A = this chain, B = another copy of it.
Amino acid sequence: MTREQLTEKIRDIKRERGWTWRFIAREIGGMSEILIVGALLGQGKLVKPLARKAARLFGLAESEERMLNETPCRGTSMPPTDPLLYRFHELTMVNGPALKAIIEEEFGDGIMSAIDFDMEISRLANRGGDRVKIVMSGKFLPYKYYGATEETPEYGFREG
């Protein structure tokens, strides 16, 4: 059994039962909707109690429940061909240079973590048409400059 087969099975059951992702995420609970849906789609892991709830909800076998508790091989093929996903790809392509310049100026040499990372999606009512609002925050991780007798103290400050 591969994770792809399990994902397809979960999608099939969801379709047959006529469930929404929101319903499924609430039934399983314990994490944000995007993390639960991501795990069910093969991009994340459900910790044991959540895997158990998911298994009960979908009527999975024990080995399938255990597979949901495994860290999958994350990631999907790029660039995305799907228009909804491509727009996110484009945002990185177009805003990349400015994101790098502004984050490094504000935080110093480092990155926004994609691991200690949180994301929320919501609907923003708007007269000109509702908007998709995404709030994300990732811990800033400064590059560590190891190897000096006393660790070089400057990193992590804005040096501008």
Contacts and interface: CB of A to CB of B under 8 A. Distances in A.
Interface of A: 1-2, 8, 12, 15-16, 18, 20-22, 29-35, 37-38, 41-45, 47-50, 62-63, 66-67, 69-71, 73-107, 109-121, 123-124, 126, 128-148, 152, 154-155, 159-160
A50 B123 CA distance: 27
Contact of A100 (B63, B84, B148): B84
A121 B102 contact: yes
Contact of A66 (B18, B49, B154): B18
A8 to B, nearest CB: 7
A130 to B, nearest CB: 5
A128 B8 CA distance: 38
Given A85-B99, A133-B136, A148 B15 contact: no
A20 to B, nearest CB: 4
B103 A16 contact: no
Top 3 nearest A-B pairs by Cβ distance? A75-B81, A32-B147, A38-B98
Nearest to A155: B47
Contacts of A41: 97-98, 101
A126 to B, nearest CB: 7
A98 B134 contact: no
